[in-house]
Every structure is written in structure tokens, then in C-alpha cells.
Amino acid sequence: MKSIREIEKTSIETLEKVSCDAKIAVPENLDSGIRDLVSALEKTDRLLGKDEREKKSFIRKYRLVFSAAASIALAAGLGIAYMTSVNTPKDTYDDPRLAYAEVERVFGKLSKTVDYGTGKLIETRNKLSRPVEIVEKATEH
């Protein structure tokens, strides 16, 4: 059973190890999709009849675009694989009463913070209403 303080004190390295526990598979067709794009580019160049220098220029010009497309495809594949994997969070409390008490404590602290902010907002509104009243009285005459 871990308390919230223990979880907050957990090192970055430990958190990274926990996050890496779930195996994320790269989509099987990602490599073939990239190869298809490169093949299509080569066929397009041949159909257009460009000479070797123009081909190199074209490839150099659009290398960043193809790299970005491959990166996006990879990120999307990893994201989809991660979202579809079943990751259920582990319970940090063995005793439901302790968990409930911790939730009450956190919500109590949140409530006090919101109440404090609301009080400051009301004070500010009251201070700002005085100049508005003076301006309204001045414009009535």
C-alpha cells in the first residue's frame, strides 16, 4: 500500500520503468507503407522523365516531408497500439477506508483552496464596484 506522498516522491527513472512495462507493438504494415511511398516517388520520377540531377533535387527537397510523414505514421501507430492495450491501474490502497479518507482529505484541501479564491474574487469585485458607481453617478448629471 502506497500513500500519495510515496507516489509523489517516486523518481523519474522508476516512473519510466513502470511506463515501459506495457509492450507496445509497432504495426506490422508500417514498414511496407513507407516502402510503398518511396516506390511511388521513384515511379513518379521515372514517368515524368526527370534526369538524375532533378531526381536528387526532388528527393532532397521532399526528404523532410517524407521523414515527417513516416514519423507521424509511426507515432500514430504507437498511439493506437498503446490506446488499445489493456492497462488497468493498480490499487495503491489495500484498505478502502484509508483510500476514502485520503480522497476526503484531498477534496477538503481543494475545497479550502477554491473557497479562498472565491473570497478573493468577491473582495476584488467589491473594490471595483466603488469606482464604477462613481463613474455612473458622474455621467448621470
- The model's pLDDT over 27-36, given as tens digits with 9 standing for 90+, comes to 667 677 778 8
Q: Is the pLDDT of residue 2 over 90?
A: no
Cα 24 to chain centroid, rounded: 18
Average pLDDT value for residue range 104-112:
93
Q: Residue 19: which of 81, 71, 87, 94 has the closest Cα? A: 87
Predicted local confidence at residue 88, as pLDDT: 59
Q: Distance between CA atoms of 130 and 71, rounded to whole angstroms?
A: 58
Position 113 confidence tier, pLDDT thresholds 50, 70, 90: very high
What's the predicted TM-score (pTM) here? Answer: 0.30
Q: What would the pLDDT profile of 46-90 be if each residue is shown by its tens digit? A: 666 656 666 667 667 777 777 888 888 888 888 777 777 666 556
